[in-house]
Amino acid sequence: MTASATQSQPVNMLTAIRQAIDEEMERNPEMVCIGEDIGLLGGAFGATEGLQDEYGSMRVLDAPISEAGIVGAAIGLAMRGRPVMVEMQFIDFISCGFDQIVNNAATMFYRTGGKVNLPMVIRGPSGGYGGGGPYHSQQNEAWFLHSPGLKVVCPSTPSDAYGLMKAAIRDPNPVIFYEVKELYRKREIEEIIPEGHTVPLGKASVRREGSDCTIITYGNPVYFCLEAAERLASENVQAEVIDLRSLLPLDEEAVIGSIKKTNRVLVVNEASRTCGFAGELIARVCETAFEHLDAPPMRVTREDTPVPWVKPLELSVLPTTDKIYDAALRLVRY
């Protein structure tokens, strides 16, 4: 086992993810990892660094550049009861394995009448703000939220990434795990992770208590929302910030409970606006908590464009602290 993330030193998100995978491989000798350059190289970002040396090339497999082949092989292994961690070098390229994921992995349990589980995690770096352009900046979680049979998570802290990764690997069916690469090495969010820490799928976290409006988000925008909430406090507006962590299953109890308290809701997601998760969440709020709303629900999302290369253009289409702050002020002044 590599150096433990559960010791006393704070770790970043990347280290926390690597440690969770390492510990689960030690815990279950049947577990396998498969992906492009995950063995000798240790992954494009280092998420599997040292694992092939520790567990051998038959458990940490370097695969050809074929996401469809990688996911297909993982499905076969999982059907035989072997937990599998699949790495997408960038989550953008998960589309190359889309058929295997939505038509085979997502439906296997249903099609076999509950007789065949697929214990597999498909994980990879996601998101913009790093100047990666259209092919390395996507948050495409809505594709998989629309596919019954899949679970989808997106942590924002090292502790949550560690705990959710453990829960996802132990889950008997497929989990899509979004890792925001802009958060991988941010020193300001390093954390000490308790030994044996896990985070159950389907539980949100209240990052800031408030009484005037609810801001719901996940992933990188969590930090923009917290910054906006600090600025709102100077305007005597107390915003509650909820980090969903798990999109499916969704913690509707936490969402509706907060809205009953604040009577206003703003949803922020990094993905594009049309058919994004923000819209789905607002629809659910309107269906189940309409009588508690004192203002129309609002959302801040990426514009319906590809993510540009150039930094000013990139920021012009993505959510920012300023955009969230302005939207929240409009919400509370409605």
For the chain, what are the domain ranges? 13-189, 205-332
Give me the percent of the chain exceeding a pLDDT of 90.
Answer: 96
Question: What pLDDT, in 10s, does the model give residues 253-288?
Answer: 999 999 999 999 999 999 999 999 999 999 999 999
Please give the Cα distance from 62 to 75 (Å, whole number).
16
DSSP per residue, 228-255 = HHHHHHTTT--EEEEE-SEEETT-HHHH
Predicted model pTM? 0.96
DSSP, collapsed to helix, strand or coil, labels residue 322 as: helix
Q: Which two tokens stand for residue 182?
A: 């802009």
- Which position has the higher pLDDT, 187 or 296? 296
**What pLDDT shows up at residue 126?**
98
Phi, psi (5° rounding) for residue 144? -90, -25
State the chain's mean pLDDT as an integer: 96
Please confirm, yes or no, whether 136 is among the known catalytic residues.
yes
The topology (CATH level 3) of 205-332 is Rossmann fold (3.40.50)
Please give the Cα distance from 331 to 44 (Å, whole number).
41
Q: Which two tokens stand for residue 114?
A: 């509950």
Question: What pLDDT, in 10s, does the model give residues 231-251?
Answer: 999 999 999 999 999 999 999
The topology (CATH level 3) of 13-189 is Rossmann fold (3.40.50)
pLDDT of 7 over the 70 cut: no
Element (H, E) at 213: strand 213-217
DSSP per residue, 33-93 = EEETT-SSS--SSSTTTTHHHHH-TTTEEE--S-HHHHHHHHHHHHHTT--EEEE-SSGGG
- The answer to whether the beta carbons of residues 94 and 101 sit under 8 Å apart is yes
pLDDT of 52 over the 60 cut: yes
